[in-house]
Chains A and B, each alone.
Chain A
């Protein structure tokens, strides 16, 4: 059996960026990139790459194609899925992709997927760590007319169908759909593998296919947003921190217990 998988991945600001370095330019309504901290492939998207590799391995053949939409890609960052073992990569790089809303992103992704040819499965991360919306995968499946299964922690491929276990707060739900289907995954699907030296060498010989919107036959008016950002700001913290200082470290621990009891927290 051979399976062809497309993984949608997004380049995002590193969510491990210290909050002291996090700043927003309210004039242009954008988070300011931090000098010296490169972006990363969104965490859940790396989980999706891992899931795709596992499925390809279990099937005994097939392809994993990684697809991303953006304006300024950092190639060393974006090639990580290739180092992990993905077969190829398509990057839609265009200035018009800088501030796409979900509708525009879905238009670009679906045009690129249609151009790429036949596929059995599309995998996406559950949500991106910048806008935290988790709505692009649903839009993509609606646009492509295929079923969507979300929050998968386990995926099993059958002959023409797929079964997933979707994480729920009190356990999981089991869903089934016919292929082709779109599935979003979370971190419970498995830790993304570290690229091996051999993987990194192989990736260095692969060149991502870089396309513009006009290559996809898309025009600017098809990118018109349905949602507008009217403000972006850092919320003011209301926390008033009380530092507890005892005579030594252990005494501070003791005083903390007393404080928590006094405040009726424990």
Chain B
């Protein structure tokens, strides 16, 4: 008998929103014949109760205090392995968070199973999972299937909608007391200093690439970014040339941004860069090459010299107020 297990996380003492998103994914797999939906979250019975309303058929809580204050891979593995064994779960869903990104692979290798990271689609084929995921910096899509009996998946938060809470659902919460010995100690957390709007939070990002021709050009990009209450980014090529700080690099080996508006100035759009910004809602390309991937991927494009386009753009935005 197959079953689906959702690995939950806490966020400031309550079940994290992405756990409910995973429950929604688990529910639809269950409706397609994937078996019952089990959920496991660190915490006590009262924390666990909310998972029924989110779609779980059975709830398990890992009660050891350490898991609620210092969640580490080593500490969480034994309770998760316990629940997988007791429920016969053959599908495990994990959020692609700072924790889940490490936990998914660690769990997989512990079970000699495979894990598919950051999946964007899941279907059942003859009772077995098939997953879709982006690779090559988003340039390609892969469909994967598992050879191992346990099939582990991570899903990025906010890619799915949680189900509406069903308060009529409830049940008994099973407590799991095991905890592993943590080999990694958490010493603390440091919040980044607030210096302007962070790239990842910005609703508008203006980025420049090697095609700018000179580092001074970032001045006018910053002016445009500031005017739109946004942040300024750069392609790897521009950062490698020392034109802009690596902390502002957008792309595969930099930050991933999903702003409402992404203005790409003189960036051709190789997968290195697209990987970091293709999730933007509206892409504007200012680029001399009409055939460039960035122009092809954009909603609006201006195929002209940025040095003349951007000052006029800035002036008109000011006029519009």
| Cβ of B135 to closest chain A Cβ, rounded Å | 5
Q: Which of B14-22, B31-39, B83-91, B113-121 contacts A (4 or more CB under 8 A)?
A: B113-121
B residues near A245, Cβ cutoff 8 Å: 302-303
Give the number of chain B interface residues (Cβ < 8 Å).
94
Q: Which of B125-148 contact A (CB under 8 A)?
A: 130, 134-137, 139-148
Closest partner residue, chain A, to B282 (CB atom): A265
Contact B143 A230 (CB under 8 A): yes
Q: Which residues of chain B are near A106, meaning CB under 8 Å? A: 109
Contact of A101 with B by CB under 8 A: yes
Contact among A17, A102, A146, A186 with B105 in the assembled complex (CB-CB below 8 Å): A102
Contact of A44 among B144, B253, B300 (CB under 8 A): B253
**Cβ-based interface call for B167 (8 A):** no
Which of A58-66, A72-80, A87-95, A129-137 sits within the interface?
A129-137
Residue A118, interface by CB 8 Å: no
Q: Which of B141, B254, B309, B310 has the most chain A CB atoms closer than 10 A to its own CB?
A: B309
A239 within 8 A of B: yes
The answer on a CB contact under 8 Å between A227 and B137 is: no
B69 interface residue, CB < 8 Å from A?
no
Q: Are B299 and A242 in contact (CB under 8 A)?
A: yes
Q: Are A19 and B305 in contact (CB under 8 A)?
A: no
Do B139 and A252 touch across chains, with their CB atoms under 8 A apart?
Answer: no
* Stretch in contact with the other chain, from A199-207, A211-219, A256-264: A256-264
Chain A, 179-198, contact with B by CB distance < 8 Å: what is the 0/1 string? 00000001110010000000
B252 surroundings in chain A (CB, below 8 A): 15, 43, 129, 132
B49 within 8 A of A: no
> Nearest-CB distance from B291 to chain A (Å)?
7
Given A103-B112, A241-B299, A254–B316 Cβ distance below 8 Å? Answer: yes
Contact with A along B175-208 (1 / 0, CB 8 A): 0000000011111111110000000100010000
List residues of chain A with CB within 8 A of the CB of B143. 229-232
Where chain B touches its partner, the secondary structure class is mixed
A221 to chain B, nearest CB (A): 13
Q: Is the CB of B136 within 8 A of A129?
A: yes
Is A188 a contact of B247 with CB atoms below 8 Å?
yes
Residues of chain A within 8 A (CB-CB) of B200 are 169
B191 near A134: Cβ-Cβ < 8 Å: no
Interface residue stretch chosen among B1-9, B56-64, B158-166, B268-276? B268-276
A186 and chain B: residue at smallest CB distance:
B253
* Structural contact, B147 and A265, CB atoms closer than 8 A: no
Judge whether A13 and B136 touch: CB under 8 Å: yes
Main secondary structure of the interface of A (DSSP, over half): mixed
Answer yes or no: B66 CB below 8 A from chain A CBs: no
Contacts of B310 in A (CB 8 A): 253
Of A44, A245, A260, the most chain B CB neighbours within 10 A belong to A260
Q: Is B261 an interface residue (CB 8 A)?
A: yes
A263 lies within 8 A of B282 (CB) = yes
Whole-angstrom distance between the Cβ of B172 and the nearest chain A Cβ: 33
A163 on the B face (CB < 8 A): yes
A132-B137, A173-B189 are known contacts. Are A265 and B296 too (CB-CB below 8 A)?
no
| Residues of B with C-beta under 8 A to A134 | 101, 105, 117
18 A-B pairs whose Cβ atoms sit less than 8 Å apart in the complex: A18-B293, A22-B139, A24-B140, A102-B108, A132-B275, A133-B115, A141-B106, A188-B246, A235-B140, A239-B283, A239-B298, A239-B299, A244-B300, A244-B302, A253-B312, A254-B312, A257-B319, A265-B261
Residues of B within 8 A of A (CB): 73-74, 98, 101-102, 104-106, 108-110, 112-118, 130, 134-137, 139-148, 183-192, 200, 204, 228, 236-237, 240, 246-247, 249, 252-254, 260-261, 268-272, 274-275, 282-286, 290-291, 293, 295-305, 308-313, 315-317, 319-320
Query: Can you list the 6 inter-chain pairs with the closest CB atoms, starting with the nearest?
Result: A253-B312, A135-B105, A257-B316, A138-B105, A249-B308, A227-B114
